Amino acid sequence: MASETNEPKSTNEVTTSETTTNETTNEAQEAPAVTDADACSVEEIEEAIKGFLTGDLTLAQLEGLTAEDLYAMADVGYDLLEEGRVDDARKVFEGLNVYNPFGPYFHSVLGSIYQKLGMPDESLRHYESAVELFPEDIHSWTNAGELMLELSAKYADENEEVSQKLFHEALCALERAVELDPECESAAALRARALIGVVVSAFEARKAS
């Protein structure tokens, strides 16, 4: 099954979720207001994207970017992913992740990208980072659970202990996704519940045989 990619988030949504993971002892200190003059122009955003794709962009060149700038770049990267340009999207999100490793959205999308590229270890690492930074990320819980089920099946004949561990962790991840959205209003939670149902049915059928 293909992983479900998080929809692009508005800056307000992202900064709200990330604030809980980036608190400092200077909570009372107010950040300077961001004005239109502080934000990059469309041309500058496009130039940065080109830099990501060619590998010519340095971290020094990203210094001073606002959250709005970063998520404008993320929107472009997401569009590339939707167009099927998975490797180009990977380059964009890897660059954003290096600049801001505490962005759960970047980790979540990278998890989907690596899953599409057939790199399960990298994919799972990013899903785990996403839910660690933002525990309410239903998409990442579901995608991680589905991926671990696939890996559990893969290791079933090679290493039963690893297979069982992945199976248990997969169920925990899927159950967490459903707990976050018990009414299954989101497609991710609905998929998690469906996967749990399939797993339980298969387990009961195996016991009965």
Residue with the larger pLDDT of the pair 160 and 41: 160
User: For residues 29 and 98, what is the distance between their CA atoms, to the nearest angstrom?
Assistant: 26
Structure tokens at 147: 């991926």
pLDDT tens digits along 11-24: 334 433 443 333 33
CB 166 within 8 A of CB 145: no
Residue 19 is predicted with a pLDDT of: 38
Question: Which of 55-63's residues contact partners 24+ apart within 8 Å by CB, and which partners?
Answer: 55/91, 57/95, 59/98, 59/99, 62/95, 62/99
Q: Which tokens belong to 125?
A: 């690492």
- pLDDT band for 65, please (50, 70, 90 cuts): confident
What percentage of the chain exceeds 70 in pLDDT? 67
Report how far Cα 15 is from the mean position of its chain's Cα atoms. 15
Residue 135 has pLDDT above 80, yes or no: yes
pLDDT tens for 171-188 read: 999 999 999 999 999 999
* Token pair recorded at residue 150: 């696939």
Residue entry with tokens 């929107």: 75
42-135 topology per CATH: 1.25.40
Instruction: Decide if pLDDT at 151 tops 50.
Output: yes
Question: What percentage of the chain exceeds 90 in pLDDT?
Answer: 52
Average of pLDDT values for 63-84? Answer: 88
User: For the chain, what are the domain ranges?
Assistant: 42-135, 136-208
pLDDT at 203 over 90: no
Least confident of 11-20, 64-73, 114-123, 168-177: 11-20
Question: Rounded to an integer, what distance in angstroms lies between the CA atom of residue 107 and that of residue 129?
Answer: 6
Q: What are the pLDDT digits (tens) for 30-62? A: 434 434 444 556 566 566 666 655 666 556 566
**Per-residue pLDDT at 146:** 97
pLDDT tops 60 at residue 72: yes
DSSP string, 135-196: TT-HHHHHHHHHHHHHHHHHHTTT-HHHHHHHHHHHHHHHHHHHHH-TT--SHHHHHHHHHH
How many Å apart are CA 39 and CA 66, to the nearest integer?
A: 6
58-82: string of b/e by CB count within 10 Å (b at 16+)? eeeebeebebbbbbbbbebbbebbe
Q: Please name which of 189, 144, 191 lies closest in space to residue 170, comparing C-alpha atoms.
A: 144
